[in-house]
Amino acid sequence: MTTTETAHSDILATKDPSERLGVRRRTDSALEVGPVDHLADERARLAALEWEHFDATMLASTLGAEITGVDLTTDLDDAVIAELARALADYKVIFFRDQPVTSEQHVAFASRFGELEIHPFIPSNTGIPELVRFEKTAEVGGYENLWHHDVTWRETPSQAAVLHAIEIPPVGGDTLFSDMGAAYDGLSDEMKERIDGLTAHHDFLRAFGGQVPPERMEEMREKYPLAEHPVVLTHDVTGRKLLYVNAVFTADIVGLDPDESADLLWELCRQAATVEYQVRFRWTPDAIAFWDNRAVQHYASSDYWPQRRVMERASIVGARPHA
């Protein structure tokens, strides 16, 4: 008696349903499933990289690597800094464990990669203006659990950021990063053609309007007018096309009516939630994440309330995004 003959009478299938899909990502009902095959080339490229001054262990398919063999509490040679910059461009976000840097060492390391920015709407609380402190408690919850690039409301948004874990909860508080190059590559040809050449407005008021006293609103709006950036930018180092809209700061797409703009933004912003484009970092004391703010969006999981989570961030000033 064959296996088929002994199967339960309620079971109609004789093959795995994925066999008829092959590497297609859409089922008959237009749901995206199955192999995200466009990641393969980038995964293979990253797997072949070799480094002179440190070791790197890939953590996800197209982004994220844990770096070992460097001590960020020391004054690193220029050659090491240059190689770390190349690793950042390749992996999009790099991680370090057991780096008990002081606030001064943190700022000194970040400043090796460029001028540091001062955030007007998040207090430093460290005595060092370039270092922002995120101190979450039972009274001050975490509200960064939305996919976003940092400060895209600036005419020149952050190029990168260095985040240091000062105090972490026993469980939870992970940070996730999503590859915006993979997100762009995964769009249909029709969608790529539709968004080619489009720009979008980015606005600080969407997140930080409540921080501005009414009597200073006109001053802040003059200082930080609506920023207009390409919906798809080109990375200065890698030349990759990157999706550059986010749900926190992107207000609308220029030239579209409000409903069309909202629908298109929803479709584009939700690409960051694709699990195959992501890496999830579980923090340990004195761990550091260093991410390319152009190449990834990030999401701080707010699942640890009422526990404490204390982080410090230094951000590196970037150039104006271009298509």
Catalytic residue (one of 240, 294, 298, 309): 298
Task: Give every CB contact of residue 63 below 8 A, 6+ residues apart in sequence.
Answer: 91, 92, 93, 177, 178, 179, 182, 277, 278, 279, 295, 296
148 is catalytic: yes
User: What 8-state DSSP symbol labels residue 191?
Assistant: H
Q: Give the pLDDT score at 14.
A: 65
The pLDDT value given to residue 4: 47
**Tokens 């923090």 belong to residue:** 283
Mark whether 106 is an active-site residue.
no
Q: What is the pLDDT of residue 27?
A: 47
Residue 252's identity, in one-letter code, is: D
Angle at 263 between CA 186 and CA 37, to 5 degrees: 10
Give the distance from CA 115 to its chain's centroid.
20
Domains by residue range for the chain, with CATH: 35-317 (3.60.130.10)
Express each pLDDT in 77-135 by its tens digit: 999 999 999 999 999 999 999 999 999 999 999 999 999 999 988 878 778 999 999 99
The answer to whether residue 202 is catalytic is no
Exactly one of 106, 119, 148, 309 is catalytic; name it. 148
pLDDT at res. 34: 75
Compute how many other C-beta atoms are within 10 angstroms of the C-beta atom of residue 206: 13
Exactly one of 150, 179, 185, 292 is catalytic; which is it? 150
How many Å apart are CA 318 and CA 61, to the nearest integer?
26
pLDDT reported for residue 188: 94
Question: Would you state the pLDDT for residue 15?
Answer: 64
Give dist(CA 311, CA 112) in Å, integer.
20
Q: Which residues of the chain have pLDDT under 70?
A: 1-7, 9, 11-30
Distance of CA 172 to CAs 30, 280, 290, 308, Å? 34, 11, 20, 11
Residue 294 designated active-site: no
- Please tell me the distance from the alpha carbon of residue 165 to that of residue 290, in angstroms, as a whole number: 12
- The per-residue b/e assignment along 281-293, b for 16 or more CB within 10 angstroms, e otherwise, is bebeebbbbbbbb
